[in-house]
Each structure stands twice: as C-alpha cells, then as structure tokens.
Amino acid sequence: MATKEAFQEELNPFTIAKQQFNKAADYLDLDASLRNVLSSPKRQLIVSIPVKMDGGDVQVFEGYRVQHNIARGPAKGGIRYHPNVTLDEVKALASWMTWKCATVGIPYGGGKGGVICDPKRMSKSELERLTRRYAFEIAPIIGPDRDIPAPDVYTDEQTMAWIMDTISMVRGHTELGVVTGKPISLGGSQGRSEATARGCLYALREACQVKGIDLKGARVAVHGFGNAGANIARLAAADGARVVAAADSKAGIYSETGIDIPAALKYKAETKSLSGFPGTKEMSPEDIIGVDCDILLPSALENAITLANVGQVKAKIIAELANGPTTPGADQVLFDNGVFLVPDILANAGGVTVSYYEWVQDQNSFFWSEKQINETLEQTMRTAFNSVHETADRYQTDMRTGAYILAVDRVAEATSVRGIFP
C-alpha cells in the first residue's frame, strides 16, 4: 500500500511534468545530457512582496517567476494568484508552457509566475499594490525580448495593465510588449479574452471528427467556470452542444435537458456562484467528472482526474482547458478505456497563441481585426491538432504523448543546434 508521502509525491505537478517529459524522451531516444538540459528550469526567482494592507499593517507575500527554457525564443507564461501556489507547481507550469509553445509552433519558451495569496480576501487597492511590487521584484528578468507574462488563475487584464505600467515607469518609456492579455486600450489584442476557449473549440471540432461524434447535440460537462470554462461553455452551446453540467469552485449544477448558458453566466456574474441556479440539480463540483456525457472539459486546476476518480469518467472525449488536470496514472486508464483525450498543451494553447499575436502586434504597432485573429488561430490549432494526431498514430500512443514527442523533438533540435555556451 502506498504511503501518504508517496501519494502526495505522485500528485506533485513538477514530478508529473517530468514523468510526461521522460515518456516522450524515451520514444525519441534522447541521450542523458540532453534530458538533463531539457528537464531543468533555466532560472527560478523567489521574491518577498511587502504590501501595505488597507488596515495599515504590512503583510509579506511570497512570489515566484520561473523560466523553464528559452531555446526557441523568449519565455512566455501566465501569473496566478492563489493560496495553494508552490514553487514546484510554477516549475511544472513553466515546463508545460515550453512544450505548449512548441506544440503549436510559436517561437517562445516556457515561463510561469505565481504569488501565494487569497485574492478573494483582498481589496482591489491591495491587489494593485501587491501586483506592482511583484512586478518591480521580477522586473530584472522580464521584458518583450526576455519573458512575457500573461493572465492566469485569478489574474486578468487589469492585473496586466498594472504590470505594464509598473515596468514602463521603471524603464522610463511605455513598454506595451512586456505582458499580454492587456486591455485593448493598452495594446491588447482583439479576441484575447476568449482565445483559450476558442482554441479549445477548434481542437474539439477536430476531435469530434476523429471520434465520429457530432458536436451539435453532444452532451458536454464543464468542470471549472472561470474565464476559460465559462467561455468554452458559451462557445460549445453556440455550436449546438448541450451543456448538461457545469461547476465552479463552490457548486456543480446538472440538467439533462441542458443548462441555459447565457442565463447561467448572468447568474454567476450577479451571485458570484452557480449554486442555486434555477432549473438545475445541485451536486458537488468534484462529481462533474463522473457525469454521463459525451465530452468532458476540465477547466479548473491540476489533478482533477486521478486514479481515485478516473473510473467514474463516462465521457468519450476529454479536452483539457486547465493545465495538468489529469495525472499520468489516470491518463493510462483513459487511453486503455478508449477515451480520446486532447491534452492541455494542445487544447488550451489558444491563449498563448493569441498572446503571441498580441506581442507581434505590440512589437510592430500594427493591430489586426478580430476576424483575422480568429481565422489565424483556427488555422494554427487545426495544424497543431493534425500534427499531434499524426505523431500519436505513428508512435502508436496516446494524444498527450504524441504532443510531447512533437514538442520535445522541436525543443531538442533547437537546443542541439544552438549548442551549450560557453
């Protein structure tokens, strides 16, 4: 029987990230030296963030910025505010960003940031002071050509505006390209706010073709109802899917006939929760994983589908909007059971792809229409999906491993060609 420590280690995000990398490296027969380089974060910064609270006292928060790999371009990755942020989690997320960018073929490496805090218990002015001090502390290692942060869990375009302004003040000139996911008025891109979900929709359409499922009329369950989850629910419903279940951090709701998503979005905005939404049966958020549906969309945090609950999954297709929602053990069970899983480094890559478009627009001071953004995103996502699917078929493996083989091979080639300095 596994010890408690072993079970916790199995769910450690960075341990999982390394397992996923090593599986692909085995297929590619990478030598030990290259494995050591590609599995090790390039740079890890830990900062103390003193913040004057509204009550007059000063609290000190801990923050991180990790740059995993920059062989193919500057580091890219979000910043999350959450009470459970850890350095290992940020290291894992940074490595997943490396592989994600390589999977969709954009010229970035992987980075990620996080601050241990509970944003739900902080005022807007406290969050602004926290954000500005955090931005100042990580300023030496970020920039348009070095590392470009973006929004993630409990951060948004306002957070990015504060970071952009802080860095601009420090450097003495406006630096639009230092972050992405900004408001349109500050060099943000059309289509960015729904890009993660829209990219997933394009990948989901391809997955439905592979599995012979018509998205129109398909029963969909969405686990997590933040920006990505709410948007994919709306977009899938607009495509004709029947969203039968949805969950936020407080409650899950279910309706066999389908949830009225526009009404649910309005209800959530007004009450801050899906709990009590009329015409639905309430359940715990965790129970959404086992709902009878055709398509399951994990859109919350990592480790949502584990060996403990994977047996409850009834979906035929899973597309991961969250980062790391499925553990390696659960992955194998799903593959053995014939579930078609579109992995996070492909399914949620729409966000970083449109962030790349935003960065390109900022660097050139020339902005695209939303139609152009969405058409280019669809082309990128379809090409990436087909490349991953072809790789998985060629190696007779699952889609996640196929994506990793494709991504690791691309980063390994760039690293080998560049060589080691000095």
* pLDDT in the model for residue 107: 97
* pLDDT in the model for residue 6: 47
Is 112 catalytic? The answer is yes
Going by their DSSP bridges, the two strands 252-254 and 317-319 should be labelled as unpaired
Share the mean pLDDT of the chain.
95
Residue 62: DSSP 8-state: E
Domain ranges of the chain: 41-183, 195-347
* Predicted confidence band of residue 375 (pLDDT cuts 50, 70, 90): very high
Cα angle 23, 25, 28 (rounded to 5 degrees) comes to: 120
pLDDT, one tens digit per residue, over 1-43 is 444 544 554 788 899 999 999 999 999 999 999 999 999 999 9
Alpha-carbon distance values, 299 to 105, 201, 355, 356 (Å): 23, 13, 19, 22
| 282 vs 25: CA distance, rounded Å | 44
| 25 vs 315: CA distance, rounded Å | 29
Q: CB pairs under 8 A, 24+ apart, for 5-12?
A: 10/327, 10/329, 11/303, 11/306, 11/327, 12/88
Whole-number percent of the chain with pLDDT over 90: 94
Q: Average pLDDT, stretch 362-390? A: 97
What one-letter code names the amino acid at 271? Answer: T
251 CA to centre of own chain:
22
pLDDT, one tens digit per residue, over 268-321 is 999 999 999 999 999 999 999 999 999 999 999 888 999 999 999 999 999 999
| 305 vs 361: CA distance, rounded Å | 37
Q: Average pLDDT, stretch 366-372? A: 97
pLDDT, one tens digit per residue, over 237-264 is 999 999 999 999 899 999 999 999 999 9
Whether 351 contacts 152, CB under 8 Å: no
What are the tokens at 213? 């499922």
Q: Average pLDDT, stretch 187-192? A: 95
* Predicted confidence band of residue 44 (pLDDT cuts 50, 70, 90): very high
Q: Is the pLDDT of residue 236 over 70?
A: yes
- Give the CATH H-level superfamily of domain 41-183: Leucine Dehydrogenase, chain A, domain 1 (3.40.50.10860)
State in words which class domain 195-347 has.
alpha beta
Residue of 23, 91, 112, 182 marked catalytic: 112
Whether 114 contacts 64, CB under 8 Å: yes
pTM score: 0.93
